[in-house]
């Protein structure tokens, strides 16, 4: 089948295109269209055969019922047996909008549409294209998300095309969606009404309109043995191809833990995918990192989530780690989708981050143009099982001097180089709980200990690696002395690497 793809402007809807799309629906065909939540795969909801085609195109199990979309409230009575007063109140408050309500169905709705259930899910979307299409198609359009079953829901026409090209009659391309996660589903056939799927209309919003609302336990409790009441919630939806775990804890611990996990993967020759926030994205150094949106803007995360999950399917990543987000408001729906994508695999960020003691190592010499930079470069050339920022500092640095020429000559003869080095003055910023400070001589250590308050991890290099020797300056001496100093450093740095790796192993 050739899929017709038409761009359509929601501010100036082309009537010919809409007429064509409506006719396809009335004739029992399939048309994908934008809504404010995600793209839907539309069919005539009152036509059993059309429902069958929908399941086929999506590869979706046919016990997973479809949501019927309407454009005007007056259409509700034909398909629902009883309309509780609270449903009218919710409709008045939130329709058109991202809210789906479950009612007892009438005979007008075929079981093919409801997956064999005696209830029907109904929503009135808030999108000009969606509403025009529903009316053009006869008033009742069943529409699950327009993705292949198990893939992330589509938030752009391009995503729909990826999954549905050649399988459906038409795609209406109305640009990117507004919200990005599917509607809130509320079962109105029970008292009090029950949320079956969280969405942009939150529990608080519902309760401020109709009073008490309960939440399906199966959503709240990942270990619940109860089957979720929305049949679709039991499937492993929204799953990216690579495995995914959510790393959960304080944001700073999440970043540390994900960095460690990504580095460990890279040591096995594998690539991590990382779902980061705008606030943290620049902190990652390994893996393929994607910014899912700002922690300060819930809407941006909701809007980007499925796109990011889809993008990872096109990347060569072996495993994906995601930061977690506070579950307030819309973010409850986002975390619900993310947890489903992860198959509820959650990693404790604090536990992982506790396994790495130091994240930065600073070598301190007097002028930071010879011994310190040499030590740093030697350590960078070691096999280290954890990731460290490795730097050097000087106690007396007047300007950003390059490395000493004799030091550079020695390094060159060993296939290393300090040519990009510039001396940096030691300062208070170089002392924190994650940083190991190693000085060349006793006197530098004592100067730091006496001048600064936070001196938890300051040692001489010799002391730390248990080779009781200072690394003295070779300044003004012949090249052979620089060579001897290099040998001493090399021995110490090899022991340092051994010690760091052993500590990493013991912490695992
Ligand atoms: P989607 O259209 O892909 O957003 O999925 C529709 C969701 O609505 C699925 O999770 C269905 O299980 C749920 N749903 C549709 N109709 C009913 C119903 N009658 N009772 C409970 N859940 C429903
Ligand atoms: Mg879906």
Ligand 1 atom with the smallest distance to the CA of 121 is 16
What is residue 375's DSSP assignment? H
Q: Is the peptide bond before 301 cis (omega within 30 degrees of 0)?
A: no
In the numeric block, the tokens 């803007």 are attached to 297
Write out pLDDT tens, residues 285-306.
Answer: 999 999 999 999 989 999 999 9
Angle at alpha carbon of residue 20, lines to 125 and 11, rounded to 5°: 50
pLDDT given for residue 333 in this prediction: 94
- Could you tell me which residues come within 8 angstroms of residue 399 by beta carbon, excluding any fewer than 6 positions away? 423
**Of the bound ligands, which one is closest to the alpha carbon of residue 148?**
2
**Of the bound ligands, which one is closest to the alpha carbon of residue 188?**
1
Write out pLDDT tens, residues 33-47.
Answer: 999 999 999 999 999
What residue ranges of the chain have pLDDT lower than 50?
none
> Phi, psi (5° rounding) for residue 118?
-90, 5
What is the C-alpha to C-alpha distance for residues 375 and 386, in angstroms, rounded to an integer?
18
pLDDT given for residue 235 in this prediction: 58
Antiparallel, parallel or unpaired: β 119-123 and 67-69: parallel
Ligand 1 centroid to 32 CA: how many Å?
17
- Cα–Cα distances in angstroms (integers) from residue 425 to residues 134, 317, 392, 400, in the given order: 68, 40, 9, 9
DSSP-assigned beta bridge partners for residue 394 = 365, 425
What is the C-alpha to C-alpha distance for residues 213 and 40, in angstroms, rounded to an integer?
27
pLDDT given for residue 286 in this prediction: 96
pLDDT given for residue 454 in this prediction: 83
3-state helix, strand, coil in the chain (%, to 5): 40, 20, 45
Q: Which of 448, 408, 416 is nearest to 431 (CA)?
A: 448
Indicate the angle between helix axes 298-313 and 157-164, nearest 10 degrees: 30
Ligand 1 atom with the smallest distance to the CA of 147 is 3
Antiparallel, parallel or unpaired: β 243-248 and 319-323: parallel
Instruction: Tell me the pTM.
Output: 0.90
Ligand 1 contacts CB of residue 120 (under 6 A): yes
Residue with the smallest CA separation from ligand 1 atom 15 is 65
Q: Which of 494, 251, 462, 263 is nearest to 359 (CA)?
A: 263
């Amino acid at each position: 089948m050739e899929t017709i793809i038409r761009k359509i402007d929601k501010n100036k809807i082309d009537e010919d295109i809409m007429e064509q799309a409506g006719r396809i629906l009335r004739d029992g065909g399939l048309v994908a269209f934008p809504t404010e939540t995600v793209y839907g795969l539309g069919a005539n909801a009152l036509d059993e055969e059309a429902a069958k085609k929908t399941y086929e195109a999506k590869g979706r199990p046919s016990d997973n019922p479809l949501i019927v979309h309407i454009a005007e409230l007056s259409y509700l009575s034909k398909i629902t047996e009883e309309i509780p007063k609270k449903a009218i109140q919710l409709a008045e408050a939130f329709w058109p909008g991202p809210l789906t309500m479950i009612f007892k169905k009438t005979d007008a709705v075929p079981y093919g549409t409801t997956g064999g259930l005696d209830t029907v899910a109904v929503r009135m979307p808030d999108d000009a294209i969606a509403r025009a299409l529903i009316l053009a198609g006869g008033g009742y359009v069943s529409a699950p998300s327009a993705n292949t079953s198990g893939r992330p829901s589509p938030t752009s026409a391009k995503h729909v095309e990826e999954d549905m090209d050649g399988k459906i009659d038409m795609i209406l391309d109305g640009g990117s969606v507004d919200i990005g996660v599917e509607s809130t589903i509320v079962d109105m056939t029970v008292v009090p009404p029950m949320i079956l799927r969280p969405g942009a209309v939150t529990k608080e919003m519902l309760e401020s309109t109709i009073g008490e609302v309960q939440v399906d336990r199966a959503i709240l409790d990942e270990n619940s043995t109860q089957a979720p009441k929305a049949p679709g919630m039991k499937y492993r939806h929204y799953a990216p191809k690579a495995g995914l775990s959510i790393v959960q804890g304080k944001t700073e611990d999440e970043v540390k833990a994900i960095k460690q996990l990504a580095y460990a993967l890279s040591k096995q020759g594998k690539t991590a995918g990382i779902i980061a926030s705008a606030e943290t994205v620049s902190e990652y150094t390994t893996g393929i990192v994607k910014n899912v949106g700002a922690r300060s803007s819930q809407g941006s995360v909701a809007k980007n989530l499925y796109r990011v999950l889809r993008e990872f399917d096109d990347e060569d990543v072996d495993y994906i780690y995601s930061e977690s987000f506070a579950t307030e408001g819309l973010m409850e729906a986002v975390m619900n989708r993310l947890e489903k994508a992860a198959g509820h695999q959650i990693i404790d960020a604090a536990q992982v981050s506790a396994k790495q003691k130091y994240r930065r190592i600073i070598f301190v010499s007097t002028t930071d143009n010879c011994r310190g930079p040499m030590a740093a470069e030697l350590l960078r050339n070691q096999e280290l099982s954890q990731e460290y920022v490795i730097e050097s500092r000087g106690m007396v640095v007047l300007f950003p001097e390059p490395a000493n020429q004799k030091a550079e000559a020695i390094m060159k003869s060993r296939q290393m180089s300090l040519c990009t080095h510039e001396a940096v003055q030691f300062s208070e910023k170089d002392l924190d709980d994650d940083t190991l400070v190693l000085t060349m001589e006793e006197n530098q250590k004592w100067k730091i200990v006496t001048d600064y308050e936070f001196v938890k991890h300051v040692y001489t290099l010799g002391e730390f690696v248990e080779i009781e020797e200072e690394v003295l300056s070779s300044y003004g001496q012949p090249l052979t002395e620089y060579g001897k100093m290099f040998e001493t450093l090399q021995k110490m740095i090899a022991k340092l690497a051994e010690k760091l790796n052993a500590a990493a192993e013991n912490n695992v």
